[in-house]
Structure 1
Amino acid sequence: MSDFGRIITAMVTAFDANENLDLSKQTKLIEYLFQNETDSIIVNGTTGESPTLSKEEKIMLFEHAVEHTKGKGKVIAGTGTNNTKESIELTKKAEEIGVDGILLVNPYYNRPNQEGLFQHFKTIAESTSLPVMLYNIPGRSAVNMTPETVLRLAETPNITMVKESSGDLGQAVEILKHAPDNFLLYTGNDDLTLPTLSVGGYGVVSVTSHVKGNEMQEMIQSYLAGDIKKAAKLNQDLYDIFNVLFSSPSPGPVKRVLNHLGVEVGSTRLPIASLSAEEEKYILGFFN
């Protein structure tokens, strides 16, 4: 089992003024994230605006991330789509490029039942030797993957992790209660990082780590060292940031904050619209 660390940043995708990929900005972003205690990165996840990226752009980003993370951390490629065959093709290409793991999101729009989810994920996982992270996000995919389905999938040798983004801590507990010892649960909700650790979770797939990576790592390490009071205080200090970064459609807020901090990543692509002046003022008020 590969160790992807406690903080995996769901990395934004950098664009130029014409909304084309800007790989020079992406390089600087990768360096910045690892300097600020990110352990691994996800490329082409939700925060990377995956629905707006072409297959060719996704492959370019995978290649670029693998090249520029050597000696720094690991790369997880988001290869899940709502088309099983297409996901297999992209997964095989990502493995050929040299990524360290893959992220498979719930099929969106199709609204499969639990058996459909099971067969979709199992079929893709069996097409690769890479570690697989399942990604349960019912708020975006319109279907929840139940703990029972996650546990069935955990019997597949290379399905070793889940990004649990339902926001339901009870669902996380049910998974952890019955999962194999080597199966890791990451929360996909920054504000549930500390509660997830407290029930046996392993870490977080984070947006906030783009701008508060050191503080989040300190919170996690304080908890693991048994300094619960310090971890709780750090969580309290970060709590407003967790919320403000999702006060408008993501990744609009985090991209604006990164640009404000001098880490240029450009704007979002439609259909995620640019922030209004009022939204910008509210968000940047937490970073001045």
Structure 2
Amino acid sequence: MEFGRLITAMVTPFDNEGNIDWTTTERLLERLIVEEKSESIVVAGTTGESPTLTHNEKLELFSFVVNKVAGRAKVIAGTGSNNTRASIELSKEAEQCGVDGLLLVTPYYNKPSQEGLYLHFKSIAESVKLPVILYNVESRTAVNLSAQTTLRLAELPNVVATKDCASLEQLATIAANAPEGFRVYSGDDSAALPALAVGAYGIISVASHVVGKEMKQMIDSYLAGDVAQAAKLHQELLTVFKGLFYCPHPTPNPVPVKHALSLTGLPVGSARLPLAPITSEEAAFVASLPPLQKRMQS
């Protein structure tokens, strides 16, 4: 299964009552595929507010996105949690919805050992036939999936990739030692180009909601050997990469990117509590980001 180099971790649009806005979800999918050049879409991941989506809402989203995408991009379902049995159940149901792959986050709050992490992911992977992408994000889960455990999991036949938000050193270690065909994705937009340079295959992105087209140009320039052009594009986009997480202080994703979408003509609603609505200071900061201003004027 080829998921491509630019994958968007999609927000979940909500209406004024906080329910899923299906019309806007379809519009967002069209933008991501046609305008922003996303090759795969992650549904109900962290950016999609998975902690506050119900089990049934996730299944509805999986089926809806599969239907609307209609093979134009791959659909990756976020089915990981800190409950192995629940993750297995949701993963099996997602498979029945027709998704192309699964994204499994490291278990949060429980703080399992590396052996516990291995057994957790192994149990889920063996319960389905779908390809599995591991997701290591210590800043949210309080546990790091080590390079050694990742490489151990990479030996399982349907564990095909990892989205790693640890250091470039860890990412490089995985890329250098993984089985042939195992893909390493950066989970940090601001490290996208450096990650490619040390062996990453691509990026699972938040910023690609609003600058995906430019990110694809950056990746293509690097792969074509035009490192100077890739660096120039990365430098131009860095304000958005950083600004969507620090505006001007740490602000939880997806609050800023949802506002950025509204500024560029696609209102997707606010985040669900316990994420607070964007403040006037944060909104003004997002609106001031040069790449977004350029998009707003076009």
Q: TM-score, normalised by structure 2?
A: 0.95
Q: Deviations over 1:35-82 (max 9, x none)?
A: 120111000000000000000100010011100111320100000011
Rounded Cα–Cα distance in structure 2 between residues aligned with 1:11 and 1:111: 27
User: Superposed, which structure 2 residues align to 1:268-279 within 5 Å?
Assistant: 268-279=271-282
Matched, 1:257 2:260: yes
Q: Deviations over 1:10-52 (max 9, x none)?
A: 0000000010111111000000000120111000000000000
Rounded Cα–Cα distance in structure 2 between residues aligned with 1:207 and 1:243: 11
Residue 178 (structure 1) shift = 1.0
1:267 corresponding residue in structure 2:
270
Q: Deviations over 1:151-194 (max 9, x none)?
A: 1100100000000012x000011111211011000000001111
What 5-or-longer segments of structure 2 have no aligned partner? Answer: 294-298
Rounded Cα–Cα distance in structure 2 between residues aligned with 1:79 and 1:258: 25
1:34 corresponding residue in structure 2:
33
1:155 corresponding residue in structure 2:
155
User: Superposed, which structure 2 residues align to 1:42-61 within 5 Å?
Assistant: 42-61=42-61
Rounded Cα–Cα distance in structure 2 between residues aligned with 1:257 and 1:142: 28
Residue 91 (structure 1) shift = 0.4
Find the residue that maps to 1:102 and give its secondary structure: strand
Rounded Cα–Cα distance in structure 1 between residues aligned with 2:15 and 2:281: 24
Q: Deviations over 1:189-248 (max 9, x none)?
A: 001111111111100000000000100000000000000110000000001110001111
Q: Which amino acid aligns with 2:191?
A: L
Q: Which amino acid aligns with 2:217?
A: E
Rounded Cα–Cα distance in structure 1 between residues aligned with 2:189 and 2:131: 23
2:285 corresponding residue in structure 1:
282
Q: Which amino acid aligns with 2:258?
A: K
2:199 corresponding residue in structure 1:
200
Rounded Cα–Cα distance in structure 1 between residues aligned with 2:93 and 2:282: 39
Q: Which amino acid aligns with 2:259?
A: R
Higher RCO structure, 1 or 2 (CA under 8 Å, sep 6+): 1
Rounded Cα–Cα distance in structure 2 between residues aligned with 1:111 and 1:195: 29
Counting matched residue pairs gives 286
The more displaced of 278-287 and 9-18 is 278-287
User: Superposed, which structure 2 residues align to 1:1-288 within 5 Å?
Assistant: 2-35=1-34, 36-166=36-166, 168-247=167-246, 248-286=251-289, 287-288=292-293
Rounded Cα–Cα distance in structure 2 between residues aligned with 1:236 and 1:259: 24
Rounded Cα–Cα distance in structure 1 between residues aligned with 2:264 and 2:280: 18
Q: Deviations over 1:62-112 (max 9, x none)?
A: 011100111320100000011001000000000011000000000011100
Q: Deviations over 1:225-276 (max 9, x none)?
A: 0001100000000011100011111101000010111112111001110111
Rounded Cα–Cα distance in structure 1 between residues aligned with 2:71 and 2:275: 34
Find the residue that maps to 2:41 and give its secondary structure: strand
Q: Which amino acid aligns with 2:172?
A: V
Find the residue that maps to 2:33 and give its secondary structure: helix
Residue 9 (structure 1) shift = 0.1
Find the residue that maps to 1:89 and give its secondary structure: helix
Rounded Cα–Cα distance in structure 2 between residues aligned with 1:173 and 1:214: 26
Find the residue that maps to 2:32 and give its secondary structure: helix
Find the residue that maps to 1:63 and give its secondary structure: helix
Rounded Cα–Cα distance in structure 2 between residues aligned with 1:256 and 1:207: 13
Find the residue that maps to 1:205 and give its secondary structure: strand
Find the residue that maps to 1:71 and give its secondary structure: coil
Find the residue that maps to 1:77 and give its secondary structure: strand
Rounded Cα–Cα distance in structure 1 between residues aligned with 2:202 and 2:113: 28
Q: TM-score, normalised by structure 1?
A: 0.98
What 5-or-longer segments of structure 1 have no aligned partner? Answer: none
Find the residue that maps to 1:104 and give its secondary structure: strand
Rounded Cα–Cα distance in structure 2 between residues aligned with 1:175 and 1:260: 38
Alignment RMSD: 0.7
